[in-house]
Amino acid sequence: MKLRFFSKTLFKILRNEMAPKKRFMSGFECKNNEITSDIVIQVIGTGASGTSKSLTVLTNHRNYLFNCGEGTTRLLKEHGIGDVNDCFITHPSLNNTSGLPGIRNLTLHGPPKIRNLFTFVFTKGSSTKINVCDDFSTVIQDGDFRIESVPIIAKKNVLSRSVNEETSNLSFPSSKNKKKKGGITVEEKMDVRDISLAYICVPSTLSEIGKCGDVKSGEVFIVIECPTEDFLDSLLETETFSKFQLSNNNPKEMLSLMVHLTPTDVFNHWKYKDWMSRFPSETKHMIVNESCPGLANEAVYRLQYKLNCIDPEVFPLLKTDFELPQSCVDSRNVILAEPLLRYFIRPKSGCDRSKIVKLEPDKYLNEVANIPGWQKNYLSLKTSVAERETSVESDTDYPQVIFLGTGSYLSTVMRNVCCILLKINKDKCMILDCGEGSYGQILRYFGSQETAKILINLTAIFISHLHFDHFGGLVKILHERQKIMEQTDPFERPLFLLAPPHIDKYLKLHDNISPINLISNFQLCYGQRQMMNNQYQTILHHSDLLDICTVKVKHNIIAFGVVLTLKDGQKLVYTGDTTPCDDLIEIGKNCNLLIHEATMCDFETQPSHAKYHSTVSQAIEMGRRMDVEFTMLTHFGTQHGPVPIFSDDCLNVGVAFDNMMVPLSRLHLTSAFTPVFELLFRDYDKTL
């Protein structure tokens, strides 16, 4: 009874604090004849496995974004959606916010203290500028919309802190709410993740005197997320939606569309269904969650079809089995979202499916076949590869190096940010860095069933440094691994996280992370190992390695490279981000594979040491000084274009692409691909 009483009291306190103050979004104010004539809601990510739930609202004047999870900004670039001015977060979870580092100069609106989620996301050197507005007690208005945020409050854990007290340092923000009830302060006991916001979006119109006036009937839409069943009682008690509902058979305003970002299990709950039934039958309901199809990254598949023409083993076709919907909708007024599905609010309402993403393999292959000189160069490539294969001393399948992300800083249409999967053998694998979107890359490469095996067999994750393009996908991978383990594997398999200091502070921002063995990279430094021998041997045993050590490299924050020695004596070196580093040369001498960053072009005017990165020539020279068998270049900046430029006589240097798999025994063959890469992507800007 005390819990119920306090829950209702807290809800009243929050509602009393929400007097309808008015503030303006970034951008313009309404002027005569500037009211937008077009308003389109467009689905970006559907929430299907490997994608996030996000949508844009496009008008004549500006673009708005609702939620920005992993991969969202990459999709915005691919589909030609311009700068986003305002982003509205429904619930401050990782799935809704982890794509924000890819957006610059943005006003962010969301639940209280949402800025706390970005402690590790926006680093000192980042050019991203975000103005966070976490006071949801206001009505937000600009020349296109009046947007009212409606809090929906979870009631389950009001009297206690987060389930794992050590994983949350977020609290309710307003000092006004430090009102005690029985000695309990609201600020101390209301965790920020207990609040979700619904947004009532009312398009602006012109009144007779030429100012922003009332909305036309049927143009209002609502975006709502009810994350768990704990929010349902609050949803049913919220009176703000009543003006759109059938109370007294006379709704005060007509609602055109309700966009549901609510998970399937909550959406199907009888309380949620009861709430939906209160709206008129004319109201459309769009579902955006894991029950939807999720084929969104057409450009990624298109690129892989083309690369597959070069070598089907090195560039296997990507999987689509995880993209299929898990359920169907049989109601006439319920719409199942698909990527790029559009719903028009103005000039008149209705769905448009003309831009929905579809794969066209024949079209992609014809584009390759019609490239001038393709057949001649392809035959020359096969001859070159055949000559090199005669010198192969070993043709073993393992270890395999799978490049899942080869870009730097921000994902592009062509390259995701850093992620490398090392398959040591068929039963053991580890990850070297995992930037934003890495889990989606794994899903596309392996498909859902094989991805589950990969996560179960994952023994270690190495994080080189705390820049978001190197660790932004970590929590997603940990969450997905935990779900797989709970469903399929009753045995506890240790996972070692080798990372810089302070990664624990980032992990504590996120709940429901299973126990992991956190090892500081300092503990494994070459010649200065700071751990007990039995713990070190445990890491080696579970990872099937002969040796593992780290080395500090030269970057603008604390950063490490890593050297892995396999049980057969082969040695692999991964640099992370660095300028040329003598310590790395010493420790990596005579390695079989050097994976070196090549962020910068040789012709860039700013010296590489000023940006704490390496040029292509510096990376190649590092390999020469280390006497490596092969150097693979990765972590390319956008200034490179599709293929970095370097000398044709570098026979032991290769260029990494996303979704590229190379056994160590075939590394030397990939250097023959470079001329064909250059031909294939000669008109890259026009075709992708």
Tell me: pLDDT of 144 over 80. yes
pLDDT in tens, 104-140: 777 888 887 676 665 555 554 444 556 666 566 667 8
Mean pLDDT of 43-55: 91
Tell me: pLDDT of 688 over 90. no
Of 311, 322, 289, 290, the closest CA to residue 442 belongs to 322
CATH code for the structural domain at 39-154+192-206+216-352? 3.60.15
Tell me: pLDDT of 180 over 60. no
Q: Output the pLDDT for position 107.
A: 83
Tell me: pLDDT of 666 over 90. no
pTM of the full structure = 0.86
pLDDT in tens, 264-303: 999 999 999 999 999 988 899 999 999 998 888 999 999 9
Q: What is the 3-state secondary structure (H, E, C) of 101-146?
A: HHCCCEEEECCCCHHHHHCCCCCCCCCCCEEEECCCCEEEECCCEE
Residue 635 or 530, more confident: 635
CATH 3.90.245.10 fits 371-388+395-681, yes or no: no
pLDDT band (50, 70, 90) for residue 509: confident
Please report where in the chains the tokens 């090199």 appear, as a residue: 388
Pairing verdict, β 593-597 and 631-634: parallel
Q: Output the pLDDT for position 41.
A: 95
Q: Output the pLDDT for position 462.
A: 97
pLDDT in tens, 326-380: 454 546 789 999 999 999 998 877 899 999 989 999 999 999 999 998 998 888 8
**φ, ψ (nearest 5 deg) of residue 185:** -90, 140
pLDDT in tens, 227-272: 999 999 999 999 899 888 876 555 557 889 999 999 999 999 999 9
Residue type, 125: G
Mean pLDDT of 403-423: 93
Identify whether the C-beta of residue 510 lies closer than 8 Å to the C-beta of residue 475: yes
Tell me: pLDDT of 90 over 90. yes
pLDDT band (50, 70, 90) for residue 640: confident
Q: Output the pLDDT for position 668.
A: 86
Tell me: pLDDT of 187 over 80. no
Q: Where in the chain is the domain with CATH 3.60.15.10?
A: 371-388+395-681
Tell me: pLDDT of 33 over 90. no
Tell me: pLDDT of 212 over 60. no
Identify whether the C-beta of residue 604 lies closer than 8 Å to the C-beta of residue 639: yes
Mean pLDDT of 508-524: 83
Q: Output the pLDDT for position 564.
A: 96
Distances (CA, A) of 508 to 50, 120, 170: 23, 11, 10
